[in-house]
Every structure is written in C-alpha cells, then in structure tokens.
Structure 1
C-alpha cells in the first residue's frame, strides 16, 4: 500500500477594486527595465500559453458539467502550476499523464522547457512593475519522518519558489492551525480555515496560492450603485447592488454565440472579459469557450459609448477536483500505481486529495491615482444600455503573459459560497 499525501491547491481571493485583451501588451522602450531579460522570460512563457489556455477551458467545461447551475470560480494557472511542480517528482506513466493532462504535447515540448516556462511565468506574474498586486507561491508541509530528495526540493525551490516547512501531522489540530495560519497570511486574510479534519496519516501537504488585487482603470462611483433585479432563472429573481457608469468601453456582440462581450481594464497588465449570453444561451456559450473564441473576441472588440450596469458581489468556489482531473487523463497519481519516486527516491506515495479554493470580490473602488476628473458631454440620444442582470461569465487575463488567471460563472451573485 502506498502512503497517501494530500495536495491542497489553495487560491487566495481575487480582489478587484474597480472597470476595465487577450493580447500581448507593448511596453514603452524607454521604461527603466531590463528588457533583454524580460523579453527572454516572455518567450519562455509564450511556449506555455496555448497549452495553459487549452487546460483552462477544458477544466472549465468539466466543472460546468458537474455543477451546471451553480456559481463557479477557479484559477486555472494555479492548478496548472501546482501539478507541473508535482510532475517534477513524478516518473514514468504518472509523469506523462500529469503533463499530458495539463494539455502539453510531449512530442512538441520537452519537460525541461515546461518547468522553465512555469518558472518564468511565476516571476513575470509576481513582477512588481506589472501595476497589479499578484502574488504566487508554493509550500510543502512535511512530517519529520519523510525525507524528500535534495534534488526535488532544490529544483522545486528554484523553479517554483517552493517553501518547505516541518509539520507534526500526528497532531491534526496543531497541523491544521500551522497550515491555516500560513495560508491566511500569504493570502492577506482571504482564505481562512481551509484545512479541516486533517488525516493523521498524512505525511505531506502541498499548497499553492495566488493572490490578486487589481484596481479598475475607470472606477465606478459608489453613489451610482443602486439595488436592482438580477434574474437567476425563470423562477428566481434576487436584488443585488448594481454598479453603474457611462463611458466608452470595448464591446462586441457575438451573433453566432448570442452573447455580449465587454472588456474592462485594470490599472497595469490585467484585464477582464465580461460575457453576457442571451437568455437560454449559457450552455451553448460554455461549450464554445476555447482559446480561439477569446482570440476572436479580442480581434473584434470596438470602442463604443454605452451605459454599463454591473453587479457588486462576492463569491467563492471550493472544489475537490480529483475526479475532474481523472477525467482529464491524470489518473495514476491518485492510485496505487502512482510513481512519485522523484520526491522520496521510492514509489511509496500517492495523492489522496486535491482541493482548490478561490474567492472573488468585485466592487466600485479605484486607487487615488485614478481620481482624475473628466467632464463628459452627453448627446441627446442615450447610448445603449448593457446590464449584467442574469447569469454571466467573468474571465481575468494577464496581458504580459497571456495567462488565464481566473474563470468565473456568476449564476447568483447573492450566494457567496
């Protein structure tokens, strides 16, 4: 029998504090930045972009099938990063399944390139000059009895910024407090009391976290927020605080998929796609959500004057994703066939549980730097009104790396978890 160990994918809340392309951004050549180094990192990241996007939308499709009428929110880049790091310690079929499950074609990209790409992705996403606060990291909690190979720990630290901590899993209460306190601190209080009912047989717990805080490029004014109706389904109507502003926004009507796409920017390199399907068209949209769809929307967006209503809300998603990943081809690592001998030197471990948790807060606020005053001249004819008053999708991207940071489906914004 193999020893179980828990892999917890811990994701801090996305905290968006104000509105705002899945396109590569263009930097000012006069910026005081090491552009040669930066460009090298970007090239390494670019090799991962299509694979990470394929994984993101494949995972989204699986989650929506399992929870068709519920709020969904997760970070595909967090899941990909955690399992790429786990692949460092996997061998034979176990490793192949993990990397292919992450949508990598191993005849086109080498394992070494994958790890280097993730290393550069983590560095670029955490870059303080990106204009948003985005922190990524990983920690491994180990029982004193388990002695991982020095090469695994060294490689994981160098490539994935892994932090190693000793934990007494024989005392579950003590272990839970240590892990929960660590994650709460790393996620700025967004994720609390995540680990519960810890199995005393646990010998290792792997945690990854992402924390994102972005300020809308064009903040909503709180005084314009008002209670309005949100139509969850044919029988359910709820009241939500609806933010409002008039201005020029990137807009596209996708006639084929019967949806409206609005792109809002954050200060810095992050951007959001808000996608409102026509009534009864959510399922069709979910099935069509692939990277080529996002690219088409990016190419066709046009600046349009409009009145925008968007709900202020907080939701979270918590998933035990072992079953979903198994359906995506990552199978052996959860069974006695697991080969994680690259971690300890012997194939004695298997992954018993994968938990992913994410939280999303959306409100009006912006930064003081965005507090410029502009007088808008209104025409006599009112611009079109786009109101997100029924289930919609929200996708958050990083333009510097073309990474899909978060994907959400908001069915009922009044349900927080």
Structure 2
C-alpha cells in the first residue's frame, strides 16, 4: 500500500505570534529562505468615508474578488449543512488552499482553480497577489491587530518537491519545520504553534498523528480591534432575543446612538461599525420582521454584496446589538466537494508538484472563534487540510434593534477582503 499524506491548514487565528520551538529547515540544500514581499501601508479612509475601492497598486483586485466569491459559495454550502450559529474566515481558507494549490497539477489544479474562482490567474499571479495582500492586511491599521502566519510541518525523512516548499516559503512566508511524527509530543508542538498564533483562542487542531500522515500545512490569523466609537457598558441591559423556534431568551444588548454608515431595503437593515481608523469594519445585516435569515441567504451573493457596499450612507440612528461569543468547527470536505473540488479527496488527485509520491487530501478542517462586546471584537480561525498518499436611505433617524437572527461580516474596506463572515441565531 502506498503511503498517505495528511495536511492540516489552520484557519484564521486572531493573533499571530512566533513559534516557541526552533524550526528545523525542511528545505533542500541550495534553497534560501526568502522573506515575504512587503507592501507600503496605504492611508486609512477619512472618518466619514464609505467602503473605498482598492487604491493599492500592489493589490490584484482579481484575487480579492475571487476570495469574496469563494467565501460566499462556501458559506452558502455550510449554511445548508447547519443552519445554526456559523462563522468562517474566507481569507484563511483561501490562503490555506492557495498554498496547497502550489502542489496541484492537471485536472486537480483546474478543479481547484474553478472552486477558488482563480480564473485568469496563473500560479505565479496567485502567489504574488497573495503575498501582497497578506502584507497590506497586516499593515491595514496601526490601531487594529491583524496578523497572518503560515507553516509547514513535514515528517522527518519524507521527500517533498523543492519548488513546492520554496513557493510556500517565498510567497506565503511559511515557517518550514521537519518533525519526528513518531514522537508522542509532536501533536503538542504543532498545537502550541496554533495556540500562540491565535492568542490561545484556538488551542488544538491535532489530536494525534496517524502513521500515514506526512505533512501539516497551517495558516493562522489573529484579529483584535476596538470600535472607533465604543459602546457604553452602562447602556447594556438584558433584553429579549427572538429565536428561530419562536421562543425568546434574555440576553445582554449593547446600545449606542450616533451617526452610522447605514443602508436599508425592504428586506433588511444594515449598519457598518468601524474599528480603529475605520479601514476595517463589521457589517451587520438584520432581516426585516416579515422576512427571515433564510430569505436573506437567498440574496446573499457576490453580485448583491458588491451592489450593497457603495449604498451605505451616514445617518443618525439608534443601534442595539447583542454581545456574543461564538466558536465554530466544521470539516469542509463535503462543502468543497459541492463546489467542484471533490477530486482532491480521491485517488485521482494529482499533487505531483507537492511530492513524487501520489497524494490526495484527506480532510480540510476549519475552526473559528469570535467575541463581540462593548470595546470591540476579537476573532480567530484555523483551517486544517489533511492529505493522504494514494493511491435606500431616509433622512430621519433610524432604529435598528438586532433582537433576532442576523448575518455579519468583518471586511477590509480598502481591498474588499472578507476576513470573517457568520450568522448568529442564538447569541451566547
């Protein structure tokens, strides 16, 4: 029987710190470590600015648009599987799969390109655009913590294609470590990296290492931002929240009156809550009482999203928003298969650019965390990829009381990057 590889890619973790263990170079001789390209920070939008178009010449708008389209498709699939509290990081999943994409060839590469919406982008285009995007996101706002980290953990003695390792090191800044997978402490070492790179919000992605596993690919991101205008804790009070089954629960509701970026239609109300210098914002979409979250999902498309974003206008109003904390974990195999990427899980997978051994993806696992309170938001996510060897605005003040299931997203207004998106049907 041929050996089987398993990948693990950690989804967006909201804090990125260095690994506490010294890295053992997995790179073949002659391949030097190249730092991730840097991008000069772009100026933040003005205090009253609406979502701005991409103005950074280093950023490829094709990539950010691709991430958005992929993120909405993935979210739609997961909602069909589990219509409860849900939260994903499109950016983290896309980055993790982009690193894997460097090892794909033939029909497998084409299937991944279609699912990831990479049409028109070569592998080199993707890598360069990803490096620039990661760099600009990390420099988005000095008042917001936003960090990304990548790593590869390879089984000692297993052979990987030099170009695959070099591309991931050069363009994704991946830390490459050779590890004795037979050592019982190996999972703890990888999980320690995960915990550090998510500020302890996600502490475990690996339970044990199977003898057939040869590689773990990790992407982690950390986000922590305070609201530009924070909620006054003295205005927070217990209020009823409507649940999907028609019942109510008492829950802490934050309250703020002021001038917001606001948008409404016959189907929903929406508000933008900026962090720090306003480049990054949380968007909250509340379906009308005569509508539902399910109905809102039917119109949640990349095309509609691009139409909605420019429609937000400054408007006085009263906002009530529940405090909430949410953790989410899901295996993405089924959803990615539905998006046309199923070949990566089969013996027909072609990852010849990864290793001379025939390989296929065993599992793609995603974990996220978010906490929203009066001060701001903290969030984290981890994506795990396991591979096996195979074989309208009005002038009067608005009132928006978010007391029923709602959708939210955290977005970089300058590049349009969707860092997180989720739904709350029962706040915890």
Alignment of 1:151-300 (within 5 A): 151-171=163-183, 173-255=184-266, 258-268=267-277, 269-279=279-289, 280-300=291-311
For residue 379 of structure 1, what is the aligned residue in structure 2? Answer: none
Say which of 154, 159, 168 aligns to 1:142.
154
Say which of 35, 57, 64 aligns to 1:40.
57
SS in 2 for 1:7: coil
Deviation of 1:342 (Å):
1.1
Deviation of 1:47 (Å):
2.2
Q: Is the 8 A contact 1:14 1:212 kept in 2?
A: yes
Q: 1:14 to 1:215 in 2, by over 3 A?
A: farther
For residue 385 of structure 2, what is the aligned residue in structure 1? Answer: none
Deviation of 1:274 (Å):
0.3
For residue 4 of structure 1, what is the aligned residue in structure 2? Answer: 5
For residue 370 of structure 1, what is the aligned residue in structure 2? Answer: none
1:91 aligns with 2:101: no
For residue 406 of structure 1, what is the aligned residue in structure 2? Answer: 420
1:355 aligns with 2:365: yes
Alignment of 1:7-22 (within 5 A): 7-13=8-14, 22=51
Alignment of 1:76-155 (within 5 A): 76-105=90-119, 108-127=120-139, 129=141, 131-155=143-167
CA distance in 2 between partners of 1:94 and 1:325 (Å): 13
SS in 1 for 2:204: coil
CA distance in 2 between partners of 1:241 and 1:293 (Å): 32
Cα deviation digits, residues 269-326 of structure 1 (max 9, x gap):
2111100012442112112112222222222222221111001111011110011111
- After TM superposition, the score normalised by the length of structure 2 is 0.83
Q: Is the 8 A contact 1:226 1:241 kept in 2?
A: yes
For residue 30 of structure 1, what is the aligned residue in structure 2? Answer: none
Say which of 53, 72, 83 aligns to 1:24.
53
Q: 1:130 to 1:124 in 2, by over 3 A?
A: farther
Deviation of 1:186 (Å):
1.3
Q: How many residues matched?
A: 375
Cα deviation digits, residues 355-408 of structure 1 (max 9, x gap):
1111111011169xxxxxxxxxxxxxx944211110000111112221011101
CA distance in 2 between partners of 1:167 and 1:314 (Å): 35
Cα deviation digits, residues 29-79 of structure 1 (max 9, x gap):
xxxxxxxxxx3313x3x12122211111111110111112x1010100111
CA distance in 1 between partners of 2:245 and 2:307 (Å): 31
CA distance in 1 between partners of 2:122 and 2:307 (Å): 29
Which 4+ residue blocks in structure 1 deviate beyond 6 angstroms?
none
Deviation of 1:14 (Å):
8.6
Say which of 319, 326, 329 aligns to 1:308.
319
1:65 aligns with 2:77: no
The farther-off stretch of 311-320 and 227-236 is 227-236
Deviation of 1:194 (Å):
2.6
Deviation of 1:22 (Å):
4.3
SS in 2 for 1:41: coil
Tell me, which stretches of 5 or more residues in structure 1 are unaligned? 27-38, 368-381
Cα deviation digits, residues 127-159 of structure 1 (max 9, x gap):
265542111121111110212222221111111
Greater helix content: 1
CA distance in 2 between partners of 1:11 and 1:50 (Å): 19
CA distance in 1 between partners of 2:406 and 2:223 (Å): 21
For residue 389 of structure 1, what is the aligned residue in structure 2? Answer: 403
The farther-off stretch of 111-120 and 315-324 is 111-120
Q: Is the 8 A contact 1:23 1:298 kept in 2?
A: no
CA distance in 2 between partners of 1:224 and 1:86 (Å): 47
Q: Is the 8 A contact 1:142 1:203 kept in 2?
A: yes
CA distance in 2 between partners of 1:147 and 1:14 (Å): 31
- Alpha-carbon RMSD across the aligned residues, in angstroms, is 2.1
